[in-house]
Each structure stands twice: as C-alpha cells, then as structure tokens.
Structure 1
C-alpha cells in the first residue's frame, strides 16, 4: 500500500538520521560524547514527580480528560504568565493545552491556513517546522538569521512579494539552533510588522527559562499589542526537564487559540489527567529548581567556550537556550566537519545545514552533558590539530 501524497511530502527526519549515526558508533563500543542531542539530561524535579504519583492514585484521573484540558491547568498557565511576565491571560479563551509544543507547531498551519497559502520560517530553524508545512499543504519563504544581525530576522530585507503573500510567521527565541535572544524592542517591531503586513505570529518559547549573563528571556506577549496578532507556545520540557512527559500550552490571541482547540477536538482527547496535575505543580510551585538549572547550563556554556577558545577555535558564547552555535573551520562543510568529529574524535554534534540553508558553516553543540565531558570533548577535538592557537606576547 502506498503512503498518501501528504505523507510522501514529509521531510526526512533530520534528528533520526543523527541518532542512527551515533547509535552505530556506540554499538562498536566507542565512548561517544553526544553533543548533538536536544534531550535534557537532568531528572524532573521531585515535587513534580510526587504530584503525578498522587494524581495517578486517584481513580478520577483514570477517566477521559476534558477534550480541551482541565480548567485548573489553564488557570495555572495564566497565573504563570502573570507572575513571570506580567501578562494577563484569560484561561477560558486564551489558553490551549498541548501534548508538547511540537504538536501546536505542526498543527497550526492546518488550523489557520489553506492549501497553497504561504508562511515565513526562520532559517536556520527547528526542522520540524517543515512538518507543519507539508501536512498543511502550504508553501514557505525563509527569513535568514545571520550572525551579523544577532540571529534576528531583518524584516526590511524581505521583498514586497514575500510580505504580501505570507499569512503566518514563526519565531523562536531563545533560538534553536543559534542560541540567539530577542529583546522587547525586537518584539515591538515584530508586532508593527505583523499589523502592517497582516501576518499572524507564532512565537516558539521552548527555551524561555534559559537565559545567561543575568538576562532573562523576554516573552513575545510582553510586546504592546502582541495578543492582537499572535500566540506564544510554551513547553514544560526544558523548563522542568519534562521532555518525555509531553505537556505544554499555547497562550495569546483568542481566535488562534480557538483554532488550535478546534483541530485538537478532532485529533486528540487531551492529555492523561495525572500529567496535567503534575504540570500544575510545576507551574504553581517554587521555581528554585528552574533557577538552579539555568546556572548549571551557564556553567557548562562557560566551560565549553573557554576550552574552545583555548585551542584556537574562534567561537561566541550563546545568550540563551542550551545550545551553542559554533563556526566550522575553513575547508569543511558543516556535514563534513560533523562526520569528522564523530569518526575521529568520538564527539557527536549536529551539522548546521540540517537546520536550513543559512545553517551551513556551523555546528550545533548541546550543553546537555557535564562540564567534565564538555571539556573532554574539546580536548579530543584539539588532538585533531585543526585549530591553531594564536601566539600571545606576554610581557613581564
């Protein structure tokens, strides 16, 4: 039996191919330091696990959840946004519960666009955005994220044709894969651009809890008029190390939220209630675990950047997320360099071209192993003698 045309148009799963390469190396008995993954390495905080255990013992949680999620979780999401970002959210009309934010990102083109419509995507960007393009049977143009522009899109550089035909745009800050961040001024400009061009905005805030150097990531909904033009998707995967739990939410524009809820009425019967009660415990509980985790990621970032510079690798420190976006040395493509590191140094990284055309020339490194393993990874790369340390004259 042949797959449908829709399934045949789906992009190759970039991360699946990476995992296969890494697993093959491990199967050979090699000690691979896997810096290519995006899977949090630390456990879910104990109070969240306890909330799931307690909820699971209640027979009421063994029944179907309300289609659009339990009311208490919607209220917890609204309270979270008020406490963390001073943004007012109506839990009844401006919250949609998601089985992980990926679901929202993939289903939104189907929910608010028609076949043949256009959307704008960041390049480089999260590869699964393209899954939504294929399943929605829509087209896309890209917004280059360049290092010289702090990995922010330049709306003025977009052609009139592109701006006129786009109906939806995706943004993601702190950014995967570049580690770039956006400030309130940028989001205010985004709202202005959205209104002028009549383009709805979806902000993927997956790494919203992870900012460095004393800078807290900004929510798109903090911009004036943001709820008039778009929504923000938040996941508990990174903030609370709940990647496998599959729970998140969308907040913002009531019409877009209703579109999400309506399509999910037909696709899902919400999430296991026990997980929803655990999510409430995460959002409503003490946030010390979040702050502590951010410190750990920053220390890992500092160790990676320090060691990379020590061996002569000209790198810049990411401002947020748990990724570093490192330039490939002259003479290599992103994929060639990634393959070299795995084959010759047993260090796995993600090739930048897997995130789009403008990802070529970089690799993505995850801060999801200990500082010692990050230091060891750079030591292994040093032995390849690719980088040369510049001589520094030290005077007495």
Structure 2
C-alpha cells in the first residue's frame, strides 16, 4: 500500500499543476483598508469587515474591559459554567436587533448551521438547499441524515418541483441571504411563498447581509420586508459586518430551547470568550448609531461598479459589498491576483471547489473605511492588467 506521505504529496502536486493550491498569507496587524501581509503594506480589497468595525477603538476598549472582568477563557460549555452575563446580554441585544423573541450564540457560523439543521431534522425528513449555498449549509444538510436535495440557484420553481415530489415528515428549505461568492441576494419573498404553500420551514443564513442591508442594518429580511412568519429560522454571523467573531440563531422561544437541548455543536463545545461578547455588543451599538457607514458603503459600491463598467470589466450582478470579477480559469485568476500584488493591492483569487469549474474570480470586497481614491487606485490597476 502506498504510504500516506507519498499519496498526499501526489495529490498536492496535482493541485499545484491545476492552479488550485492555496497558500496562507501571514498578516502582521489589524484589519483595515491597508493591511500588513508578509511584511508588506498592501491596499486590501478582500476583507469581510464591511463596516470597518474590526479595529474600531470603541470595540477594542470593550474587548479589553470584557477580558478584565471575565478573564480570557470561558472555561466550559454554555450549559456548564461558560454562559456569562456578557453572553446573555448580547443574546438579548441581538434578538431585539433582528426583531425576534430569542437569540442563541454559537462559536462559529459553521457550527450554527450544522447545529440547527441536525437538531431539527432526521431520517424521515427532507432538507433542500440552493445549489450555491455556503459549504457550512451544505455540510449541515449532508450530516443531518435527512434526504438532501439541491435546487437551481435562486429558482423557486425548481424548489417547488422538489417539494411536490413526495411526502416527508418535516421539510426544511435552506438558503443564504446574500451569496458569499456571487454577492447576489436570494429571492426570499418567492421562496417563502413556495415554502408556505408546501408546509415547510425556511432557514436563512444572513452572514453577509446582517449590518449591511436594510435601513437599520438588520439585514436581508429588513431589506426585503420579510417577517418572522415567512422566515422562522434566521442565522447571523458576527465576524463580517460586526467585526468580531461567532454567530447566532434567532427565532421563537421553542426553536431556541430546542437548540439548547439538542444542537450538538452548541452543547458539546466551550463557550466563546466573554470578551468577544462585550466587544460585539459595542459593535452592534455602533452598527445602529452610525448609519453613515452603510451610506458610505453604498456610495463606494456604486462608484466601483460605474468605473468597472466603463473599463468593460465583467462584474457579477451584485449590489452588496461583494463585487466578484469573473475571470474563468483558475490560472488566469491567480495571475491577475499576483499582478495586483506587485502593484500593492491584495485580492485573493477564488477558485474551485469554492466556486464551480470555469468561474474562478477575484472576490473584490469594499468596506466603509475605504476611500474613493483607494477605489480609483484599484480601478486603475485593473485597467493596466486586464
């Protein structure tokens, strides 16, 4: 039998030959428009820190105060001794923010998605997901033991056909609110109508909409004017627009209590540090009080798209901070990324299997801390390369 080392090396070399090998970049400082990467100061356009809160002084101060009060580690799972007043206060604030009775903190978005789907479904049930859903949602569906099906991206008629195919005990439809690699918004109104007609439940992961979309930054549901009855299960992450770490599930009392009793990714893991909760509470308050951050972000998105259109660049249809520049081949995406790096601009190439074959891209993301001049610098660099 071939040794493990030899077999794995062969697989890695094949990845390199296909321009699919991934390299970690080492950063030496905080998130911001400029980022120190491998000891070089670069203008970055690939962070999810959409509102520019990850290094906000108020958030940093709240983190330090939380560490001083609660220490660094939480010491145990939420159901043992790890659930502090800081966690509880944040859950209540998040629930109020998204207009839900309850919210429940999870350590990561990945754990939240897997935990919810597995807690709600079993072998007699059906889970249906958008074909372009985030990997955590896909894995949650696969791990649940329920029958797992996928519908064409954003296609409510395809979803309807699947729901009509046979009878199941429970049916859960799962979608991203904003798709992380395309930047487009799910047609949630149409999906919710189909779900209601077929006695199913709708779950939305709004990782990339929360804090960004809606007049108050409450996310995709606020932007589309949808209520809890239409979307009973809402997932939000804290490491994107809110600038910290972790995730939450929001919904009715019965949903949250069920997750506390049955979600294995909640029960069997150490609670996140309380200092993260105190920092997140501060960033949540800034998200609500400083609406100029969303307004500035909208301006920069429009400015970038206008400039890219004038250059003839092939952008995908997105009005969110995620502005994917479709390239096609993995090799070309890698080449463009490396050329931008030489000009002092950092954008990582996105290649299969993260995106489908033939759709490699530069996932350009804008933040409220970028300036118009920095966006122009990016456009000028793209004009020289492409």
Summarize deviations over 1:90-141 as a string: whole Å, max 9, x none: xxxx321111333201322322223695422223232333333454455533
Aligned to 1:226: 229
8 Å CA contact retained: 1:107, 1:132: yes
Q: Which has the higher helix share?
A: 1
Superposed, 1:33-112 pairs within 5 Å as 35-38=45-48, 43-58=54-69, 64=75, 67=78, 69-70=83-84, 73-74=87-88, 76-82=90-96, 84=97, 87-89=99-101, 94-112=102-120
Q: Name whichever of 333-342 and 38-47 sits farther off.
A: 38-47
Summarize deviations over 1:212-260 as a string: whole Å, max 9, x none: 8999744279635527x63111222223311xxx233211144432343
Deviation for aligned residue 1:367: 1.8
Separation in 2, partners of 1:308, 1:128: 32
Deviation for aligned residue 1:323: 0.7
Summarize deviations over 1:27-49 as a string: whole Å, max 9, x none: 99998765455456653432333
TM-score, normalised by the number of residues in structure 2: 0.70
Superposed, 1:292-331 pairs within 5 Å as 292-315=292-315, 318-320=318-320, 322-328=321-327
Summarize deviations over 1:64-85 as a string: whole Å, max 9, x none: 4772544664455444554x55
Superposed, 1:325-340 pairs within 5 Å as 325-328=324-327, 333-340=328-335
1:205–1:272: structure 2 CA closer, same or farther, 3 Å change rule? same
8 Å CA contact retained: 1:230, 1:252: yes
When the two structures are aligned, how many residues end up with a matched partner? 343
Separation in 2, partners of 1:301, 1:269: 38
8 Å CA contact retained: 1:212, 1:298: no
Structure 1: which 5+ runs fail to align?
Answer: 3-16, 146-152, 387-396
Structure 2: which 5+ runs fail to align?
Answer: 5-19, 27-35
Find the residue that maps to 2:23 and give its secondary structure: helix
Aligned to 1:11: none
Separation in 2, partners of 1:159, 1:62: 46
TM-score, normalised by the number of residues in structure 1: 0.69
1:44–1:169: structure 2 CA closer, same or farther, 3 Å change rule? farther
8 Å CA contact retained: 2:109, 2:237: yes
Separation in 2, partners of 1:197, 1:51: 46
Summarize deviations over 1:345-379 as a string: whole Å, max 9, x none: 44634436544549837653222584445433333
Aligned to 2:273: 272
